[in-house]
């Protein structure tokens, strides 16, 4: 019988530090981009092959291999990507069901100055930027392409269009206040004038009324239509 020998995981040569509030899925894609991988999934495939027989949970091992301190790891948030095969939600937040695991949304104005995916953008209910007062966008303004969570495109689409070139569509002030409360709940910061709820309670409050608005019998009970992919 062939004995499987555990080896140390692949350590990327370029090891960027996480940004405060960066989404875990976006961070893995950023590591992939800076090390010449096609996307986050291909980086993970190479890592996974190097860890056959390794006893520790792969995602934890990978973050440790990047020499990230406990404080730096705590800057990351949101669930691990599907390809990690890990059921965990990193650092903070409700269960994975409350996050969009497939496609990105982003604020064009934030993207103009920062090159990372913010954790709040991955929440299903998060639809506008409290900082700039505009709706998030989910497609390229030129070709209409959507971006998977593991995509390494952060500033430009494959068609050449800048991801910060989308037209700015201002959101109602009430929506902006609600998004600010959601973001504050992620960091245990109450928003003045709104209930001081946990992030999980905010998601429940938004989920149940929305579920009652479903009109198609094909929709799964208790799940808002298109939330997973919007």
Reported as a single tens digit per residue, the pLDDT across 138-169 is 998 888 889 988 888 888 888 888 888 777 89
CA pair distance 95, 79, nearest whole angstrom:
8
CA pair distance 216, 75, nearest whole angstrom:
40
Helix (H, G, I), strand (E, B) or coil at 170: strand
Contact assessment for residue 14 and residue 35, using Cβ atoms and an 8 Å cutoff? yes
- Cα separation values, 23 from 50, 72, 92, 139, 178, Å: 25, 13, 11, 19, 20
- All residues at 6 or more sequence positions from 88 whose CB lies less than 8 Å from its CB, including other chains: 59, 79, 80
CA pair distance 97, 74, nearest whole angstrom:
21
Contact assessment for residue 216 and residue 225, using Cβ atoms and an 8 Å cutoff? yes
Contact assessment for residue 25 and residue 40, using Cβ atoms and an 8 Å cutoff? yes
Give me 112's structure tokens: 């103009």
Q: How many Cα atoms within 13 Å fall on the side-chain side of residue 85?
A: 6
Residue 88 has pLDDT above 70, yes or no: no
pLDDT at 54 (0 to 100): 52
Q: Measured in Å, how far apart are the chain's first and last C-alpha atoms?
A: 49
| Lowest-confidence region among 40-49, 98-107, 166-175, 217-226 | 217-226
Residue 19 has pLDDT above 60, yes or no: yes
pLDDT at 92 (0 to 100): 54
Residue 7 has pLDDT above 80, yes or no: no
Give me 196's structure tokens: 């001081």
Number of H helices and number of E strands within the chain? 7, 5
> In what helix (H) or strand (E) does residue 175 lie, and over which residues does it extend?
helix 173-186
CA pair distance 100, 119, nearest whole angstrom:
10
pLDDT class for 2, splitting at 50, 70, 90?
very low
**Of the ranges 37-51, 74-88, 138-152, the best mean pLDDT one:** 138-152
pLDDT class for 91, splitting at 50, 70, 90?
low
| Lowest-confidence region among 42-51, 81-90, 136-145, 191-200 | 81-90
């Amino acid at each position: 019988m062939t004995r499987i020998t555990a080896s140390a995981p692949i350590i990327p040569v370029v090891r960027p530090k996480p940004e405060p509030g960066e989404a875990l899925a976006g961070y893995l894609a950023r590591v992939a981009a800076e090390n010449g991988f096609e996307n986050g999934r291909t980086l993970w495939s190479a890592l996974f092959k190097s860890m056959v027989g390794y006893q520790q949970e792969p995602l934890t091992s990978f973050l440790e291999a990047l020499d990230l301190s406990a404080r730096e790891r705590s800057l990351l948030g949101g669930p691990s990507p599907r390809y990690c095969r890990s059921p965990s939600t990193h650092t903070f937040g409700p269960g994975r069901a409350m996050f969009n695991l497939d496609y990105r949304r982003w604020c064009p104005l934030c993207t103009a100055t920062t090159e990372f995916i913010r954790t709040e953008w991955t929440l299903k209910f998060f639809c506008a930027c409290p900082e700039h007062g505009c709706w998030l966008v989910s497609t390229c303004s030129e070709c209409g392409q959507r971006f998977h969570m593991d995509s390494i495109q952060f500033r430009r689409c494959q068609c050449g269009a800048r991801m910060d070139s989308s037209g700015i569509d201002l959101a109602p002030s009430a929506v902006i206040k609600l998004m600010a409360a959601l973001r504050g709940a992620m960091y245990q910061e109450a928003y003045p004038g709104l209930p001081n709820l946990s992030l999980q309670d905010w998601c429940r409050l938004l989920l149940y009324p929305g579920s009652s608005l479903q009109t198609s019998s094909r929709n799964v009970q208790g799940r808002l239509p298109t939330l997973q992919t919007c």
